């Protein structure tokens, strides 16, 4: 099955953005670009009241950066271009005037944790363990870091970033503020997401936009900050240590 990003808006104004990649919903550059553009379009569509971000399947929400693309990076410019994709998605979610609900049905790694953290409200299942594995492959969660820190606080972010090989449970993510609610099953998750999305779709759009701006207060500099972080990651990915670590990780 080919990778894709789809978008569909219900008569009630619920825009469901879904992405898929056969490698556990990993995020190559093309998916990142389309995701950012799709969220931006939903934000400007007068028929959209709320956005639901989800991935296909039940086992993995998102495996993070595409290792195939990481090992193919040869220059700092290519590295910046790849990691700026994550920056663009996070900023698109941040700048979207509609609330973004993330539906996290399974495990989230690296950039996948960043997507969950960049959502305004995130619901998950008990199977949605999280891990920031970047340091284990010689990089570091620089681009997603601000979004993760905003939700989990500095200590929670550090716990994930430093212990880069260990999974944290969905309950841990809930206790630290990444997940607003944890459901026992995917069916229960879908019910919870639909309930909240339907409720928000009936709310005052101006009030929701104003509340979102208030909730994201202090992040106006992220456009520049995340691109600086992307450049840092783009340089680190060229190191011999990182190339060897990624090769071993893939093997």
- The average confidence (pLDDT) of the chain is 96
Whether 13 maps to a domain, the answer reads yes
Whether 139 maps to a domain, the answer reads yes
pLDDT single digits (tens) 163-190: 999 999 999 999 999 999 999 999 999 9
- 249 band by pLDDT with thresholds 50, 70 and 90: confident
Which percentage of the chain shows pLDDT scores above 90?
Answer: 91
Whether 226 maps to a domain, the answer reads no
Q: Looking at residue 133, which CATH number applies to its domain? A: 3.90.226.10
Whether 99 maps to a domain, the answer reads yes
Residue 109 has pLDDT above 90, yes or no: yes
- Domains contained in the chain, number: 1
pLDDT value for 17: 98
Residue 158 has pLDDT above 90, yes or no: yes
- Distance between CA atoms of residues 158 and 135, nearest Å: 11
Give me the domain span that covers residue 62.
4-184
Whether 127 maps to a domain, the answer reads yes
What is the mean pLDDT of the segment spanning 42-54?
98
**Which range, of 84-98, 174-188, 231-245, averages the lowest pLDDT?**
231-245
User: What is the torsional sign of CA 23, 131, 78, 220?
Assistant: positive
pLDDT value for 200: 98
Whether 210 maps to a domain, the answer reads no
- Distance between CA atoms of residues 115 and 93, nearest Å: 9
Whether 228 maps to a domain, the answer reads no
Helix (H) / strand (E) containing 4: strand 4-9
**Which range, of 2-11, 57-66, 153-162, 179-188, averages the lowest pLDDT?**
57-66
Q: What is the pTM of this model?
A: 0.96
pLDDT single digits (tens) 110-142: 999 999 999 999 999 999 999 999 999 899 999
Q: In the beta sheet, which residues pair with residue 125?
A: 183
pLDDT value for 68: 87
CA 26 to chain centre: 11
pLDDT single digits (tens) 191-216: 999 999 999 999 999 999 999 999 99
């Amino acid at each position: 099955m080919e990778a894709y990003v789809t978008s569909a808006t219900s008569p009630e104004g619920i825009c469901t953005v879904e992405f898929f990649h056969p490698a556990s919903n990993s995020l190559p550059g093309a998916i990142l670009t389309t995701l950012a553009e799709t969220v931006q379009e939903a934000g400007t569509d007068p028929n959209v009241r709320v956005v639901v971000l989800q991935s296909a399947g039940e086992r993995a929400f998102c495996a993070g950066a595409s290792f195939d693309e990481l090992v193919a990076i040869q220059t700092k410019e290519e590295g910046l271009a790849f990691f700026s994709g994550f920056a663009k998605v996070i900023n698109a979610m941040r700048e979207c005037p509609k609330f973004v609900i993330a539906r996290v049905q399974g495990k989230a790694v690296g950039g996948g944790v960043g997507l969950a953290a960049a959502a305004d409200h995130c619901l998950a299942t008990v199977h949605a363990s999280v891990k920031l594995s970047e340091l284990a492959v010689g990089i570091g969660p620089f681009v997603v870091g601000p979004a993760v820190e905003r939700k989990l606080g500095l200590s929670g972010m550090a716990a994930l970033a430093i212990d880069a090989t260990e999974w944290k449970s969905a309950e841990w993510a809930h206790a630290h503020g990444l997940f607003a609610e944890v459901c026992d099953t995917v069916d229960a998750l879908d019910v919870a997401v639909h309930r909240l999305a339907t409720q928000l779709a009936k709310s005052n759009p101006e009030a929701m936009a104003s509340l979102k701006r208030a909730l994201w207060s202090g992040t106006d500099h992220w456009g520049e900050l995340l691109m600086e972080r992307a450049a840092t990651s783009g340089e680190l990915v060229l190191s011999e240590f990182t190339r060897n670590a990624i090769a071993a990780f893939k093997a």
